[in-house]
Structure 1
Amino acid sequence: MKKGTVLGMLALSLILAGCGNNSSKSSASTSTSRTSAVKSDKKSSTTASSKVSSNSVVSSTSSNSSSNEATSSSTSYSSSTSVSQKTNVQRLAQFNATLKSNMGTGIILPNNPGYSNENQKVNVWYEGNAANFTIYYSSDSNGQEFNATNLKNVTSYATFTKKTYATASQAQSAVNYRTIDTNNGLPTVNLGYRLTGTIDSGAGQKYLQWNEGRWSFTVHATAVNNEDPTATAKTVVSLLEEYYLPAPNTQGSGSFNVAVSNDQLNQTLTWQNNNVVYTIRANSIDTLIRMAATVK
């Protein structure tokens, strides 16, 4: 082989080798670049996933926080409502403690104001002593001090009276109890709960009367005003299924009116305990019965 030919072939080999190295470097560079891109994508994906997860935790925490706040708020509201419902009962209990301190622990008193509107604070003032007293109940939005002087000029929604007589027979005659046999021959009306009342009409008035245990009850209606005592009597009967009146030593009576007026205490319960007579008067039958049921 000629020397020129050998030198030509050697030069060609060197050129091809150089091209191969460049191609390999390019391929390696491309491969490295793709690998970096994948790692970057994975990192981005991981970061995104981490952010989503983090956001989920934040969202969950926020949700739990909101839930906890809602629960706390609900609990707080429930607690506040519970306390609110007890406010007037607790207020009355404080007044009763003062009354017993002034007149003796042996006296009995209503332990419920008879109404549920906590925006109106129960007020109390009284006159008398342990043997004979009258307690006046009123209400306003602010609440007054016990036995505040200005309460004497305020219209009461209820009163509770104790009167002591010389003998039990005198006390009994003050109760105005009516026996069943006084109504023989009068028209009857079904009051529910297996109770039957009788209606006595005359001179433009109607009186529906019935007896339960040691109690006699009468509902008055004015016929000329088209009043009917039946509905009111049924209301009383239903309330007495829910609330239990004090047990009279001998007798008790209830006197109710169909016509209701806020400034008239024309709903009355009276009962005897030996020579003592207790009377509650109120402008509402509901208030009257609720208060009476808690006297002790």
Structure 2
Amino acid sequence: MKNKLGITAAAILAAVSLAACSNGNNQSSSQSSKTSSSKIVKKNTNKQSAQSSEKEQSSSSSNSSSSSSSQKASSQAPEHDRMGYFTGKLRKALPGMLLPTKDGLGTGSDKLNVRYTSSGDTNTVYYSVGDTAKDFNSDSVKNERPYAVLKEVKNASNAEDIINYSPEQKGLPTKKLDDNTTGTIQGAAGQRYLQWNKDKWSFVIQANSMMKKDPTDRGKEVLALVNQYGVPSTSTHGNLHVTLGDHMGSLNTVIAWQDGKNVYELKAHDTETALKMLNSLK
């Protein structure tokens, strides 16, 4: 009886020992599996992080390149210069003709239109501002009233008649225009004329005396503009003539001079506009 109990106790102890060993092996295997899985997750996380970083760098580089290209394109975009464009066209059509490179306008340059005519030794360029910008020398520009007209007469045999230079006047009432300039005043046929001369140029301001117009104030304004912008150099004589009585589309400023064998005449609706254009003459 004692032997049977001893055998049974020994069997129970052996079974408990085997169960404990099995649990220990299972826990070790589970911990090993968890450690291995953790390593795999960490590797995958690091790989995904690296790929994400590479994508962000690539996207940043792409955006930077796009921005740089946009800025470069913007900086290289040509300015919209209608006067420059038309002047280039005129130089090809009328080689050798002196032309202004500035339109002389305060506003409306974006709708500047230009056309020209050529007949024999005479070339004429018409500058106007329209409701819309039109092509160079478009037929429709003929319907626009020009604000300036530049004419060139080649080999002019009647140069003095075109220029209409007025010699300095003597023995007439005088008007002080500035510290260095004194003009003369005379009346004829219902008109009053203020005149002064400097170098090869004569300057005449004409006013209607019947309308009680006085040319003195305008003369002072014109003199100041001439001092500011200057006048073209002339081979013989030059003349600037302004008629008072502004009205829509009037070409009341006429400037004429001689360049070599050729005579030029610019008519404009505004004296400052005319002098600005001639100041850019090339």
Scaled by the length of structure 2, the TM-score of the pair is 0.68
Deviations 1:142-163 (A, max 9, x none): 3111001011121111100001
Structure 2 residue 123 is matched with structure 1 residue 137? no
**Distance (whole Å) between structure 2 residues aligned to residue 112 and residue 130 of structure 1:** 27
**Distance (whole Å) between structure 1 residues aligned to residue 156 and residue 246 of structure 2:** 35
Structure 2 residue 162 is matched with structure 1 residue 171? no
Q: Which amino acid aligns with 2:257?
A: W
**Distance (whole Å) between structure 2 residues aligned to residue 184 and residue 119 of structure 1:** 44
Q: Percent identity?
A: 32
**Distance (whole Å) between structure 2 residues aligned to residue 213 and residue 193 of structure 1:** 17
Deviations 1:172-205 (A, max 9, x none): 342111111xx21110001114101001113321
**Distance (whole Å) between structure 1 residues aligned to residue 148 and residue 267 of structure 2:** 5
Equivalent residue for 2:86, pick from 75, 95, 105: 95
Structure 1 residue 222, shift from structure 2 partner:
0.5
**Distance (whole Å) between structure 1 residues aligned to residue 196 and residue 261 of structure 2:** 25
SS in structure 2 of the partner of residue 185 of structure 1: coil
Look up the match of 1:248: 234
Structure 2 residue 112 is matched with structure 1 residue 126? no
Distance verdict in 2 for CA 1:108–1:119, change over 3 Å: closer
8 Å CA contact 1:107–1:130 kept in 2: the answer is: no
Q: Which runs of 5+ in 2 are unaligned?
A: 1-76
**Distance (whole Å) between structure 2 residues aligned to residue 261 and residue 223 of structure 1:** 17
**Distance (whole Å) between structure 2 residues aligned to residue 212 and residue 193 of structure 1:** 14
8 Å CA contact 1:120–1:140 kept in 2: the answer is: no
Structure 1 residue 166, shift from structure 2 partner:
5.0
Scaled by the length of structure 1, the TM-score of the pair is 0.65
Question: Which ranges of 4 or more aligned residues in structure 1 deviate by more than 2 Å?
Answer: none
Look up the match of 2:185: 199
Deviations 1:248-280 (A, max 9, x none): 111100110121122221211000123211000
Q: Which amino acid aligns with 1:276?
A: N
Q: Which amino acid aligns with 1:236?
A: V
Name the Cα RMSD after superposition. Answer: 2.1
Look up the match of 1:26: none
**Distance (whole Å) between structure 2 residues aligned to residue 262 and residue 282 of structure 1:** 12
1:75-94 equivalent positions in 2, closer than 5 A: 87=80, 90-94=81-85
Structure 1 residue 93, shift from structure 2 partner:
1.2
SS in structure 2 of the partner of residue 174 of structure 1: helix
Structure 1 residue 118, shift from structure 2 partner:
4.2
SS in structure 1 of the partner of residue 163 of structure 2: coil
Structure 1 residue 120, shift from structure 2 partner:
5.1
Distance verdict in 2 for CA 1:119–1:217, change over 3 Å: closer
SS in structure 2 of the partner of residue 237 of structure 1: helix
Distance verdict in 2 for CA 1:122–1:198, change over 3 Å: same
SS in structure 2 of the partner of residue 111 of structure 1: coil
8 Å CA contact 2:103–2:109 kept in 1: the answer is: no
Structure 1 residue 207, shift from structure 2 partner:
0.5
**Distance (whole Å) between structure 2 residues aligned to residue 124 and residue 243 of structure 1:** 23
Look up the match of 1:223: 209
8 Å CA contact 1:201–1:207 kept in 2: the answer is: yes
Q: Which runs of 5+ in 1 are unaligned?
A: 1-82
Look up the match of 2:172: 186
Distance verdict in 2 for CA 1:172–1:205, change over 3 Å: closer
Q: Which amino acid aligns with 1:134?
A: T
**Distance (whole Å) between structure 1 residues aligned to residue 110 and residue 246 of structure 2:** 20
**Distance (whole Å) between structure 1 residues aligned to residue 145 and residue 106 of structure 2:** 19
